[in-house]
Structure 1
Amino acid sequence: MARIIQQIIIIFLLILTLAALPVIIEVNAGEKSLEWNVEQLPKIYGEFISEISKGSLGTYQLGTQVRAIEEDIGDNFFTSLKVMLIGVISAIIISLIFGIFLSRFRLTKVFNAFMNILSTIPDFIIIIMSMILAVKIYRWTGIRVISLRPDAGALNLWFPTFLVAIAPTLYLFKLISVKYYETSGEDYIKTAVAKGMSLNYINFQHVYKNIEPFIKAELIKVISLAIGNLFIIEYIMNVSGITKFIFQSNQVQPIAIGLFAMLLISGIVYLVVRIVFYLFKRGFIYE
């Protein structure tokens, strides 16, 4: 219990410190150097805790307007949560389907080659190239694939969700493919094949059961990859998500609230994915 409390305190202070960087770092033009005003940190911590204790999340500046964070954060939070949740779950489903259940088909070899090519390209370049391709499609066909308007609804959400899912899919698919071929060479798999069991039964009851722990162990990294892409995508595609409070302000309060909200989104996505794994195992896997 003491260790959990210690970790919570460390995370709390770390996030506030990150949010305070625009305030505590100053550029000394005369000496051409950076000056760190670390002595302001205790005051920043106190002001943040004081604001929260009043039952308020504070305010942020939007253009010339000063708005209350709690009035706007709800829609932005659920927008980012929706993009993250659908993106991560889609990445897991695609990786499992092609990495295990369709691994014997020729289509999977083509998919594997395509994913290997994509994995050599940095995520930021993939995002930019995808946006350029979407614009080209609109010019060629007149079909609008993306919209940079924050009020465009589903048109402004499905493409960001697709882009968020790319990095987790690349990582998970390679992991599952490697573990699949390692597991396929085990004696108990050879025994199951010798007994005449169907390939689908072996994949469900033996291969998946042994690969699942590796997926769960890498789940935090998968979510962190998706979060990293979410920061880029919401900014360059003008998505009204939670990163709005991080990028559009240099004040400590909205940046800190945005970072804490990102942490909460990561926790919710992790919990939902673990529940999905549990339900899938209970429904399809025999113990």
Structure 2
Amino acid sequence: MRIIQQAIFIFLLIILLAAIPSILIVNPYELNIYLDFSQLGHLYGQFMKELASGSLGTYQLGDQVRFISADIKSNFLISLFTLLIGVLSAVVIGLLFGIFLSRFIVTRFFNMLLNILSTIPDFILIVFSLVLAIKIYEVSGVRVISLRPDGGALNIWYPMVLTAIAPTLYMFKLLAVQYYQTSGEDYIRTAVSKGMRVNYINFQHVYKNIEPFIIADLTKVVSLAIGNLFIIEYLLNVPGITKFIFQSNQFQPITIGLFSMLLISLIVYFSIRLVLYIFKRGFIYE
């Protein structure tokens, strides 16, 4: 029952957010802004009518009117792949440097670098990365990004890197703090006194006690990546699912875009949970 209630609430929230551009009215004579809720019934009815007819509707792309169903598959896959690689990279880097490689000196320098980067807002980091990529092209002639929608791999791999920045910073700090607290527990000291190897302790004792914190904060990691994805796809002109949200103020494409982003986040979340489960079953002894 609770899941059904949450699903209904999310559905109503999404269609309400998608309707804001259509019901937001600007009165140039009285110089005020107000919401015209009388349009909601027509918008929702049209939306359900399109779905019932087996169509997702149309959206405006420049001077062209295109069918959403003709473009949504490729855009969906690009956003899904970008977000999945970004979150997976954040989890892997966090586990490596936060737990399994934390005893090495190079990790301390990596920790200092991430602590410095974590003080800078995500948007500033993204803009700085774009400027850096442009400077690299000016100096060396090597193109690392492409602002064209048909840029291929050049328009995919760099957005993946930028998408992973915020979740990596958060995941590393989370695991570093939890590792420091767990390392001081009595059972860890007992394992060390018995002469157990560090890798064995990290796998069989430390990770097992830190894993619940990873799973609990995984939703926040995904949400951070999604927030970056909205900015990155817009600035780098990536042909992802956010195109339906930013390039049109129509109710139909915005609603489809938001529901698609919700589906992408769920796929990424459960995919990372599956990866963590396989890792635990393969390397951790119960």
TM over 0.5: yes
Q: Does 1:33 align with 2:32?
A: yes
Larger mean Cα displacement after TM superposition, 275-284 or 42-51:
42-51
1:203-282 to 2 correspondences below 5 Å: 203-282=202-281
1:57 corresponds in structure 2 to: 56
Quote the offset at 1:10 in angstroms.
1.5
Q: Which amino acid letter does the alignment assign opposite residue 122 of structure 1?
A: P
Quote the offset at 1:220 in angstroms.
0.5
Distance 1:24 1:6 in 2: 26
Distance 2:261 2:231 in 1: 14
Larger mean Cα displacement after TM superposition, 255-264 or 61-70:
61-70
Structure 2 unaligned residues grouped into runs of 5+: none
Aligned residues: 286
Q: Which amino acid letter does the alignment assign opposite residue 200 of structure 2?
A: Y
2:107 corresponds in structure 1 to: 108
Q: Which amino acid letter does the alignment assign opposite residue 13 of structure 2?
A: L
- Give the share of equivalent positions with the same residue, in percent: 67
Larger mean Cα displacement after TM superposition, 216-225 or 10-19:
10-19
Quote the offset at 1:230 in angstroms.
0.3
Larger mean Cα displacement after TM superposition, 117-126 or 133-142:
133-142
1:118 corresponds in structure 2 to: 117
Distance 2:263 2:192 in 1: 45
RMSD, matched Cα: 0.9
Distance 2:29 2:221 in 1: 44
Larger mean Cα displacement after TM superposition, 10-19 or 125-134:
10-19
Distance 2:41 2:218 in 1: 35
Quote the offset at 1:13 in angstroms.
1.4
Q: Does 1:174 align with 2:176?
A: no
Distance 1:197 1:42 in 2: 67
Q: Secondary structure in 2 aligned to 1:34?
A: strand
Structure 1 unaligned residues grouped into runs of 5+: none
1:7-156 to 2 correspondences below 5 Å: 7-156=6-155
For normalisation by structure 1, the TM-score amounts to: 0.98
Q: Which amino acid letter does the alignment assign opposite residue 194 of structure 1?
A: S
Instruction: Name segments (4+ residues, structure 1) moved above 4 Å.
Output: none
Q: Secondary structure in 2 aligned to 1:23?
A: helix
Q: Which amino acid letter does the alignment assign opposite residue 166 of structure 1?
A: I
Q: Which amino acid letter does the alignment assign opposite residue 27 of structure 2?
A: N
For normalisation by structure 2, the TM-score amounts to: 0.98
Distance 1:11 1:54 in 2: 24
Q: Does 1:188 align with 2:178?
A: no
Q: Secondary structure in 2 aligned to 1:150?
A: coil
Larger mean Cα displacement after TM superposition, 120-129 or 137-146:
137-146
Quote the offset at 1:6 in angstroms.
2.3
